[in-house]
Amino acid sequence: MLFNEYKYFDYQFPEPQYLGAKYTLLPWINQFVPKGTKTAIDAFSGSQSVAYLFKQSGFKVISNDFLNFNNQIGKALIENNTIKLEKEDVRILFQPSKNKNNFNLIENVFTQVFFEKEEAQFLDNFRANISLLTNKLKQSLAFAIINRSITRKITMGHFGHTQALVYANDPERIKRNRSLVRPIKEIFEELVPKYNNSIFDNNQDNKSYNLNILELLPSIENIDLAYFDPPYCDSHADYQGFYHLLETYTEYWKEKEFINGIKRYEPQRFSGFDKKKDVISNFEKMFELSENIPNWLISYNNRSFPGIKEFENLISKYRNVKIETKTYQNGRGGKGSVAGSQEILFVCSPKKKYFVSFNSKNQLVDEKF
Ligand SMILES: C[S@@+](CC[C@H](N)C(=O)[O-])C[C@H]1O[C@@H](n2cnc3c(N)ncnc32)[C@H](O)[C@@H]1O
């Protein structure tokens, strides 16, 4: 690699807390990125950690996740090259809102579920002020940082349980994780410089999308590499169950029902990759729609459905496949990363092309390139 290609690696991706994030696996994944890649798509981008690696590598990056709170991180850190949150922006976000009456969703739905009343009111007030930031990328940055602050504040960093307030009052838990009792405002202020410092310009026109991947693929072209990190079907695939609160806060849903003890929104968005009954046909669709993207890297786990062998057979219809594995020594890799479970990377390259031609005696010759 030329020295020039390392120049963006001084920037640091703000550490994510997201089930299945590949943050700790980036050096391993990076080894399998084909030389000569110029444009790459991170198709199921989640925390954006792989999209950020691609941006650091100098690629033109297309990033996509069907959940909008993830897309907001993509706008803030991948699409955005220069815009930061300044002191004045933070002042605007914290000021008492004149539009309080229209912003009480978090207080009404989540008080005593995840927050004490005062914190819920702070979040509603902050949410009301986001639209006062005139620049859309600043708004995305505000979403990215406040959502990360909420994740820090809530025990286990997801919202698929009802233990938040129990743990926030448990001295043993607090000793291990002070964030449980810190005001979200304080966590936000601490994170602003970390996010600001991670923003850089790689001189490419990068884009973040918020679509089902099957809708996005037909509209994009000239991509060298697709990275697919779908939910691991049958093993922690319900991202909307775990992260409903961040999506509700970002979308500020008015027309949804909030159900169960955790108050997740209903109806949910349709993924197509999280339920056994539709995952295989949607993988086939996705691979067909990716026919013009020569190289694919697919993250997978040995506990997912379909199993490794069946999935390899499925991919083999479209690409040559090599399987790379990394075994977790402990359970810290995120979703499905129980000790002893394996992170898998399918490294997929174009099948060799066959050209049929005729020799001077007009005999058919099968040439392999
Ligand atoms: C395993 S996670 C990706 C983790 C990511 N690579 C990272 O490092 O943070 C899978 C992601 O796929 C998203 N997703 C699920 N179904 C989708 C679909 N049909 N189209 C686009 N994104 C989808 C989920 O919201 C989730 O963020």
Q: How far is the CA of 231 from the centre of ligand 1 (A)?
A: 6
Domains held by the chain: number: 1
Q: Is residue 333 lining ligand 1, measured as CB closer than 6 Å?
A: no
Range of the domain at 180: 3-355
Question: Which of 23, 66, 250 for a ligand 1 pocket mutation test, highest count of atoms within 8 Å of Cβ?
Answer: 66
Q: Is residue 49 lining ligand 1, measured as CB closer than 6 Å?
A: yes
* Model pLDDT, residue 6: 74
Structure-token match 């938040």, residue found: 164
Of 191, 198, 231, whose CA–CA distance to 67 is shortest? 231
Q: Is 136 inside any structural domain? A: yes
Q: Is residue 40 lining ligand 1, measured as CB closer than 6 Å?
A: no
Q: Is residue 337 lining ligand 1, measured as CB closer than 6 Å?
A: no
* Model pLDDT, residue 365: 60
Q: Is residue 44 lining ligand 1, measured as CB closer than 6 Å?
A: yes
Q: Is 253 inside any structural domain? A: yes
Distance CA 369, CA 366 (A): 10
Question: Which of 65, 68, 147, 269 for a ligand 1 pocket mutation test, highest count of atoms within 8 Å of Cβ?
Answer: 65
Q: Is 227 inside any structural domain? A: yes
Residues 6+ apart with CB under 8 A from 128: 97, 99, 100, 102, 103
Q: Is 110 inside any structural domain? A: yes
Q: Is 350 inside any structural domain? A: yes
* Model pLDDT, residue 336: 45
Using CB atoms within 10 A of its CB, is residue 24 exposed (0-12), middle (13-18) or buried (19+)? middle
* Model pLDDT, residue 327: 82
Q: Is 367 inside any structural domain? A: no
The secondary element (H helix, E strand) that includes residue 355 is: strand 354-358
Q: What is the CATH number of the domain that holds 84?
A: 3.40.50.150
Q: Is residue 20 lining ligand 1, measured as CB closer than 6 Å?
A: yes
The DSSP bridge pattern shows strands 320-327 and 295-301 to be unpaired
Distance CA 202, CA 185 (A): 31
* Model pLDDT, residue 335: 45
Report mean pLDDT in 10-residue bins for the chain, 369 residues.
73 96 97 97 98 98 98 98 98 96 96 97 98 97 98 93 91 90 96 98 98 98 97 88 98 96 96 94 98 97 93 97 85 51 94 65 56
Q: Is 363 inside any structural domain? A: no
* Model pLDDT, residue 364: 60
Q: How far is the CA of 162 from the centre of ligand 1 (A)?
A: 24
Q: Is residue 52 lining ligand 1, measured as CB closer than 6 Å?
A: no
